[in-house]
């Protein structure tokens, strides 16, 4: 075991280099700004973040008994302290479980049951929701006057708190990120230290990241995008991140100019909202080297609009279970190879596989399979799901792709039934699971349909029980007590019978044709 003082930097130099990003930059560039909170204007340097990380680890260990392998759940918006908290948890060999604050109480209750956290750190705004979950574990308020965050900042010349740190390895799980599944229940992807390290290396090599880079983080921290598209790679390079509580197009454009943002990440919906913002035309965006776009293909006219502004677009592809930064399309190919996700990043092997397990030829559709050091450890408490997803050394994405004769990859179809509403993945099976609990519903099927604002939204085809009556408004109101708002279908069709195959399988393709 190693010991470190909560106020002494040199002790941290004894820790394993592969996870000690903050302490290394605290040594190299202690006065460099690591994080800036846009709402409050407060900043924290790498030197300050390192001392705060040690104090936080000491509090978790000495006051709350957090030890190696324990799960520490967090329910909060994007804050400076949230980032530091993760690195403190990682340093103790514990596992952070970022919870989605948009979820309804029953959804959170399942994640509590599955991950069994030893403690929950939460903001006061979510106390009522947690009470509805029925979870009885220890809760720590982050934002009260003398709460956990205030204590993270507290320091005294006489404060010499001894902390015992385990020997962390690449194979250790440091985070569980819940991703909705096709079986109707979310699955917790186990993110390892090695996964974060190699994703950062891959990202830095492909995006040419340097210490002087500046970016904005507005993707929530319950998403891998919030943590691992740019946040952890930037910290690995000693760069600067500006945190926003939410995506505000006009404010994002203002910050791009005033803070000299060099790299921007968003999904096509966000890039379109930025383009349509009233200050887009007046924004200079002179320091913005390029924008990284993922989630779905970006329309060519929108790519051209950004390129006319002097901002190249780099299309990409990733997923929680692998990477997440897996593919990147060079900006000079954005138009010539429209719709392509480009090439796999460094230290990633990608292939297109037929249903029989053999590998497809160029321009032949097949399932995208991946392998490399950025693969998750598996799904928490779900060995069968893990076995289905990770086979023969490959991660099976479920996405249908093709590779052209030049080696560029294209996504042909997304995971069989998933659709994306705004920046959120929605899996119909999960929503259907909830709707089936309604006493008036006999059968239900949900598909994604076009939406002018969010790209896609849900449409529910409902078969009611005999003698039951229900309106779309009633079902929508009921669903909002059970599901996050973005998962609740916006459209409803009441039908007598769902179309089915001879084997009884619901034929959703016929619903899409209706």
**Structure confidence at residue 385 as a pLDDT band (50, 70, 90):** very high
User: What pLDDT sits at residue 158?
Assistant: 47
Clarify whether residues 399 and 468 are in a common domain. Answer: no
**191 against 179, higher pLDDT:** 191
Clarify whether residues 454 and 404 are in a common domain. Answer: no
Clarify whether residues 15 and 159 are in a common domain. Answer: yes
Clarify whether residues 391 and 408 are in a common domain. Answer: yes
- Whether residue 42 is predicted with pLDDT greater than 80 in this model: the reply is yes
Which CATH number fits the domain that encloses residue 446? 3.30.300.30
**296 against 271, higher pLDDT:** 271
Clarify whether residues 381 and 441 are in a common domain. Answer: no
Clarify whether residues 260 and 385 are in a common domain. Answer: yes
* Helix and strand totals (H; E) in the chain: 16, 27
CA distance 419 to 381: 26
- Whether residue 450 is predicted with pLDDT greater than 50 in this model: the reply is yes
CA distance 258 to 271: 19
pLDDT in tens, 424-433: 878 787 788 7
Q: Which strands form 187-192's sheet, in the order they lie side by side? A: 138-141, 119-122, 71-75, 95-98, 173-179, 187-192
**What b-and-e string marks burial along 163-186, b requiring 16 or more CB atoms within 10 Å of the CB?**
bebbebeeebbbbbbbbbbbeebb
Clarify whether residues 162 and 49 are in a common domain. Answer: yes
User: What pLDDT sits at residue 10?
Assistant: 39
CA distance 392 to 383: 15
- Whether residue 501 is predicted with pLDDT greater than 60 in this model: the reply is no
Instruction: Give the bridge partners for 5, in sequence order.
Output: 162
CA-wise closest residue to 60 among 24, 91, 19, 105: 91
Clarify whether residues 251 and 155 are in a common domain. Answer: no
Strands 43-45 and 33-37: antiparallel
Clarify whether residues 477 and 355 are in a common domain. Answer: no
User: What pLDDT sits at residue 8?
Assistant: 41
Domain end (from 362, 397, 413): 413
- Whether residue 400 is predicted with pLDDT greater than 60 in this model: the reply is yes
- Whether residue 130 is predicted with pLDDT greater than 80 in this model: the reply is yes
Average pLDDT over residues 244-260: 97
pLDDT in tens, 155-174: 654 455 678 888 889 999 99
Which CATH number fits the domain that encloses residue 323? 3.40.50.12780
CA-wise closest residue to 512 among 448, 455, 462, 454: 448
Q: Is residue 218 part of a domain?
A: no
Q: Is residue 496 part of a domain?
A: yes
Q: What is the mean pLDDT of the chain?
A: 90
Residue 174: give the domain boundaries: 2-31+43-199
Least confident of 63-77, 294-308, 363-377, 446-460: 294-308
User: What pLDDT sits at residue 289?
Assistant: 96
User: What pLDDT sits at residue 7?
Assistant: 43
Average pLDDT over residues 404-408: 96
**Structure confidence at residue 6 as a pLDDT band (50, 70, 90):** very low
The number of angstroms, rounded, from the C-alpha of 196 to the middle of its chain's C-alpha atoms is 13
Clarify whether residues 391 and 452 are in a common domain. Answer: no
**Structure confidence at residue 415 as a pLDDT band (50, 70, 90):** low
CA distances from 107 to 16, 23, 113, 353, 358 (A): 37, 37, 10, 35, 39
**Structure confidence at residue 288 as a pLDDT band (50, 70, 90):** very high
User: What pLDDT sits at residue 414?
Assistant: 63
Clarify whether residues 253 and 279 are in a common domain. Answer: yes
pTM for this model (two decimals): 0.83
CA-wise closest residue to 53 among 16, 97, 5, 96: 5
Q: Is residue 234 part of a domain?
A: no
User: What pLDDT sits at residue 160?
Assistant: 55
User: What pLDDT sits at residue 161?
Assistant: 65
First-to-final CA distance of the chain? 64
- How many domains is the chain partitioned into structurally? 3
Please answer whether residues 317 and 340 qualify as being in contact, where contact means their C-beta atoms are separated by less than 8 angstroms. Answer: no
User: What pLDDT sits at residue 5?
Assistant: 42
Q: Is residue 219 part of a domain?
A: no
**Structure confidence at residue 9 as a pLDDT band (50, 70, 90):** very low
Clarify whether residues 433 and 366 are in a common domain. Answer: no
């Amino acid at each position: 075991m190693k010991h470190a003082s909560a106020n002494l930097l040199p002790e941290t130099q004894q820790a394993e280099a592969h996870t000690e990003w903050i302490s290394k930059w605290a040594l190299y560039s202690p006065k460099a700004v690591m994080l800036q909170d846009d709402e409050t204007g407060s900043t924290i340097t790498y030197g300050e973040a390192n001392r705060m990380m040690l104090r936080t680890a000491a509090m978790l260990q000495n006051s709350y008994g957090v030890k190696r392998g324990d799960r520490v759940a967090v329910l909060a918006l994007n804050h400076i302290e949230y980032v530091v908290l993760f690195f403190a948890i990682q340093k103790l060999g514990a596992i952070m479980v970022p919870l989605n604050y948009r979820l309804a109480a029953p959804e959170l209750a399942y994640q509590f049951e599955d991950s069994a956290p030893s403690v929950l750190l939460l903001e006061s705004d979510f106390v009522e929701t947690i009470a509805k979950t029925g979870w009885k574990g220890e809760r720590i308020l982050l934002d009260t006057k003398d709460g956990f965050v205030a204590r993270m900042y507290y320091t005294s010349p006489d404060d010499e708190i001894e902390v015992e740190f385990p020997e962390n390895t690449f194979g250790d799980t440091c985070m569980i990120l819940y991703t909705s599944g096709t079986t109707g229940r979310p699955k917790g992807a186990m993110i390892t230290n090695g996964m974060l390290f190699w994703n950062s290396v891959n990202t830095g090599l492909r995006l040419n990241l340097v210490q002087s880079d500046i970016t904005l983080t507005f993707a929530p921290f319950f998403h891998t995008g919030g943590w691992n598209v740019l946040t952890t790679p930037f910290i690995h390079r000693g760069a600067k991140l500006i945190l926003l509580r939410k995506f505000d197009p006009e404010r994002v454009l203002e910050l791009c100019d005033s803070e000299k943002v060099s790299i921007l990440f968003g999904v096509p919906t966000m890039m379109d909202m930025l383009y349509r913002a009233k200050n887009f035309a007046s924004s200079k965006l002179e320091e913005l080297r390029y924008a990284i776009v993922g989630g779905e293909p970006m329309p060519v006219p929108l790519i051209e609009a950004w390129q006319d502004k002097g901002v190249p677009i780099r299309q990409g592809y990733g997923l929680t279970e692998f990477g997440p930064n897996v593919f990147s399309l060079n900006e000079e190919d954005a138009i010539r190879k429209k719709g392509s996700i480009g090439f796999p990043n460094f230290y990633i092997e990608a292939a297109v596989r037929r249903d029989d397990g053999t590998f497809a030829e160029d321009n032949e559709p097949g399932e995208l399979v991946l392998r490399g050091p950025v693969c998750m450890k598996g799904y928490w408490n779900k060995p069968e799901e893990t076995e289905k997803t990770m086979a023969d050394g490959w991660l099976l994405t479920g996405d249908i792709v093709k590779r052209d004769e030049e080696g560029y990859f294209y996504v042909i179809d997304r995971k069989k039934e998933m659709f994306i509403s705004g920046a959120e993945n929605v899996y119909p099976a999960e929503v259907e699971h909830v709707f089936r609990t309604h006493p008036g519903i006999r059968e239900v099927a949900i598909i994604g349909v076009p939406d002018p604002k969010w790209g896609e939204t849900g449409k529910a085809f409902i078969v009611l029980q005999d003698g039951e009556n229900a309106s779309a408004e009633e079902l929508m109101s009921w669903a909002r007590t059970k599901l996050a708002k973005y998962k609740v279908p916006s459209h409803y069709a009441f039908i007598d019978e769902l179309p089915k195959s001879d084997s009884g399988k619901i034929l959703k393709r016929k619903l899409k044709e209706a």
